[in-house]
Amino acid sequence: MLKDKFYKTVANKRHPNESLVPTHCSYCGMQCGMNLRVDTSTNKIIGVEPRYDWPVTLGKMCPKGVTAYQQTNHDDRLLRPLIRDNPLLKGTKDGFREASWEEAYDLIVRKFQELQGQYGKDSLSVFSGVSMTNEKCYLTGKFARVALQTRYIDYNGRFCMSSAAAGFLRTFGVDRGSTLPWTDLHQTDCLFIAGSNTAECHPTSMFRVWEVQNRGGYLIVADPRETPLARRADIHLDLRPGTDLALANCMVNLLIQNGYADEEFVRAHTNGFDELAEVVKVFTPEYTSEITGVAVEKLVRAAEIYGKAPEAVVLFARGIEQQHKGTDNVSGYTNMCLVTGKIGRPKSGVATFTGQGNGQGGREHGQKSDLLPGYRKITNPKHVEEVCKVWGIKPEEMPQPGVSAYEMFELMMNKTIRGLYLLCSNPAVSAPNQHAVRAALKELDFMVCSDLYLSESCEFADVVLPTTSWSEDEGTVTNLEGRIIKINKAQEPLGESKPDWQIHVELAERLGRGQYFSHLTTACKVADEFRLASKGGYADYYGATWDKIDKQDGVFWPCKSEEDPGTPYMFLDKKFYHADGKAMLCALPYRPPAEEPCAEYPLRLTTGRVVYHYLSGNQTRRIPFLRDMCPEPYVEVHPATAQKYGIEHEEVVRLHTRRGEAFYKVKIIEAIREDTVFVPYHFGHDLSINLLTIAALDPISRMPEFKVCAAQIDKVAEKPSGRPQ
């Protein structure tokens, strides 16, 4: 166990007539340790206790974590399957009736078989998510390809992690979100954090971030807003949204120009230096300042600090990744580590703040349109053969690669896809360009949605299946470090709800594919098959047994055998995962955002999270404390901009883009650029900012550009009557 300076031995608080179940939070990639309090007479979850002995977070939790337990026995939980007989009511909450599992399964099987009989196997699709265990994510991929036999499967990581994944794969040949354990962060000398509102999105990282400064180290933050993190930064690079690649290229240029490049490291362990140096040459501080709006002195000083730092970690998140050049931004910032050789050793490296609980593990094991378990490629015949051996199907039975999450909606619109099985995701809030997405969902002939609550996306379904909360099932997730950890079951499923892996098995049996699924009678059995399926892949989990996870406080992948303790540090041997063992320095010409401001839409709109909500808010908007703290979205505006538009604090304005409009209260604050406005994205229906966002996709990661588009504010004479309260 990695114990650091913050670790204290503290006894758990024992409450009478209660037991404590150690587990992790249901929300973000930090996966903070927590103990769930279970009443021993009712066997129900009734509260939370800090898990002081979890080495990453030491009992710390954000307000979402503290109240996470309130999801399980919430009044809004779906307890029985729901069927809606009248398709005209799609897009509303109305018309659902309770049904038995048998009736729901029969209807699903009949409809799926009808559609596939008439329009072919690929007329069905699966849209999944990564706020669930590795076991469920793995089985979802197998369910799509073996039970439904469709090529169309993708997942909400396309709106979250896919640029980080694609960038790391291109640069390193492997995609592990962090090259070093989180317990190293506070020991480094410089943190360079780009496009991460760490304080609100990954709050339990913050004590380590502040400790770097407490030790006399430096904090450099690149963000269009002065977030609670940027407020204390030594250098705040307050760039225009969508200009990260220019900033990254400028940093690399200055590092090379000022002699901070580690020439020996570059020669021995990387390819592409000359091309990179050539491309970044034009990114002088002056030219970069024109593009990004960041003062020249700040650019120079930031590069000097990073260059001089004996040890440094580059961190980034959705701010740089949710752009139509997100992959380039990731490789661009990662170039800083490689050029200076600050990687492949303790206290130095690069990491992305994984957004979703299992954003790391969930993308590795076959929910992505082109991937199979163990980070294998569906286009690689050898990889297909390896997985087919575990699954018991013939390689020719493996479906072709599909398309990315947003592109699936386009195929629904043109009727290529006619049926959808949606689970663990709420794209009717979280996908960009909502008008098109909602129209596509309405266009479907048949839609099934598995959720624990009636989400906005459920409103488009014909059948809603009640699934369990995270606390009613067990399995593993992989946190933002790449550490495989164990989620434990604290109570029996509420009502008739079932874990998604069980739903997959039961549906597969009814679809006549039971021979490939019926042996999976427990989460543990799914885990055993999943470990085997990952064996030999890049993301090799074979040795990460539940027992080892328990004993070691988690296991970092790759973990190839029972004897292998796992890999907390990546690239210690300076061997990267490309065929020649070298990392790729990517030379990346700058591209502006897909939509630049113009006379009609002169503002830059960016979106993000608040500390009280998670993703589409389907869970957190139901928790009283979190709802009270942030009941509705708002538009953050600089006072100078507010003055220009003649708008006041708390006044309701119309915010609009080429794709849509919404009405928000104004929040005036100086801690944002004058040319930028910000709206949190956790809200549905008319309040969804994704009615306005643009679906410009990254050519590699297929990530939409949530983080920047052109917008305009209009004053409204009176509050529009249609605005939901």
Partner 1 sequence: MKQYLYIEMDNCIGCRSCLAACTQCGGHDERNRNYVYDVNPLVDRQTIPLMCLHCVNPACARSCPAQAIQITAEGAVLSALVEKCIGCQNCTIACPYGIPKFDEAQNLMYKCDLCYDRTKDGIPPMCASVCPTNTLQWVTEEELSMKKEQHRLGKWMSSREPFDPLEGETNVKISLPGILQGKQKLF
- Binding residue (CB under 8 A) for partner 1 from 19, 21, 47, 535: 47
Alpha-carbon gap, residue 282 to 638, rounded angstroms? 32
**Tokens at residue 636, please?**
């953050």
Q: State the greatest distance between any 2 C-alpha atoms of the chain, in Å, as a whole number.
A: 70
* Shortest separation between residue 130's beta carbon and partner 1, angstroms: 23
By CB under 8 A, tell whether 11 contacts partner 1.
Answer: yes
* Shortest separation between residue 49's beta carbon and partner 1, angstroms: 8
Nearest by Cα to 430 from 461, 447, 409: 409
Looking at the Cβ atoms of 35 and 657, the one nearer to partner 1 is 35
By CB under 8 A, tell whether 238 contacts partner 1.
Answer: no
The 157-196 contact track toward partner 1, x by CB under 8 A, reads: --------------------------------x-------
The secondary structure of 570-614 as a DSSP string is S-TTS--SSTTS-EEPP-------SS---SSS-EEEEEE--TT--
Alpha-carbon gap, residue 392 to 2, rounded angstroms? 40
Question: How many residues does the structure list for the chain?
Answer: 725
By CB under 8 A, tell whether 215 contacts partner 1.
Answer: yes
Looking at the Cβ atoms of 211 and 661, the one nearer to partner 1 is 211
By CB under 8 A, the residues from 267 to 306 that bind partner 1 are none
- Enter the DSSP assignment of 145: I
Looking at the Cβ atoms of 233 and 277, the one nearer to partner 1 is 233
Alpha-carbon gap, residue 549 to 547, rounded angstroms? 5
By CB under 8 A, the residues from 567 to 626 that bind partner 1 are 611-612, 625
* Shortest separation between residue 333's beta carbon and partner 1, angstroms: 22
Alpha-carbon gap, residue 195 to 224, rounded angstroms? 8
Looking at the Cβ atoms of 184 and 445, the one nearer to partner 1 is 184
**Tokens at residue 521, please?**
């009678």
Q: Which amino acid is at 113?
A: Q
By CB under 8 A, tell whether 61 contacts partner 1.
Answer: yes
Looking at the Cβ atoms of 207 and 287, the one nearer to partner 1 is 207
**Tokens at residue 200, please?**
């609100």
Output the CA torsion sign for 636, 638, 639, 643: negative
By CB under 8 A, tell whether 59 contacts partner 1.
Answer: yes
Q: Which residues, listed in sequence order, are joined to residue 312 by a DSSP beta bridge?
A: 190
* Shortest separation between residue 129's beta carbon and partner 1, angstroms: 25
By CB under 8 A, tell whether 310 contacts partner 1.
Answer: yes
- Binding residue (CB under 8 A) for partner 1 from 28, 36, 38, 48: 48
Q: What three-state secondary structure class fits 24?
A: strand
Alpha-carbon gap, residue 361 to 477, rounded angstroms? 6
Give the distance, in angstroms, between the CA of residue 432 and the centroid of all CA atoms in the same chain.
15
* Shortest separation between residue 35's beta carbon and partner 1, angstroms: 11
Output the CA torsion sign for 412, 417, 418, 424: negative
Looking at the Cβ atoms of 218 and 265, the one nearer to partner 1 is 218
Q: Which stretch binds partner 1 (CB under 8 A): 224-232, 314-322, 376-384, 418-426?
A: 224-232
Contact present, 703 and 163 (Cβ < 8 Å): yes
Q: Which stretch binds partner 1 (CB under 8 A): 215-223, 402-410, 451-459, 653-661?
A: 215-223
Nearest by Cα to 315 from 289, 287, 341, 343: 343
Alpha-carbon gap, residue 599 to 712, rounded angstroms? 9
By CB under 8 A, tell whether 200 contacts partner 1.
Answer: yes
By CB under 8 A, tell whether 213 contacts partner 1.
Answer: yes
* Shortest separation between residue 445's beta carbon and partner 1, angstroms: 44
* Shortest separation between residue 715's beta carbon and partner 1, angstroms: 20
Binding residues for partner 1, rule CB under 8 A, total 52
Looking at the Cβ atoms of 49 and 407, the one nearer to partner 1 is 49
Question: b vs e for 215-254, b when ≥16 Cβ sit within 10 Å of the residue's Cβ?
Answer: eebbbbbbbbbbbebbebbbbbbbbbbbbbbbbbbbbbbb
Round the CA-based radius of gyration of the chain to a whole number and report it: 24
Contact present, 601 and 710 (Cβ < 8 Å): yes
By CB under 8 A, tell whether 60 contacts partner 1.
Answer: yes
**Tokens at residue 28, please?**
């973000």
**Tokens at residue 31, please?**
């996966």
**Tokens at residue 69, please?**
């337990």
Looking at the Cβ atoms of 308 and 578, the one nearer to partner 1 is 308
By CB under 8 A, tell whether 655 contacts partner 1.
Answer: no
Show Cβ contacts of residue 546 under 8 Å, excluding neighbours closer than 6 positions: 476, 486, 524, 527
The 455-494 contact track toward partner 1, x by CB under 8 A, reads: ----------------------------------------
- Binding residue (CB under 8 A) for partner 1 from 2, 109, 439, 671: 671
- Binding residue (CB under 8 A) for partner 1 from 100, 214, 521, 643: 214
By CB under 8 A, tell whether 647 contacts partner 1.
Answer: no
- Binding residue (CB under 8 A) for partner 1 from 29, 33, 55, 65: 65
Residues that bind partner 1 (CB under 8 A): 10-13, 15, 47-48, 50, 52, 59-63, 65-67, 189, 199-200, 203-207, 210-211, 213-218, 226-229, 231-232, 308-310, 611-612, 625, 629, 639, 649, 668-671
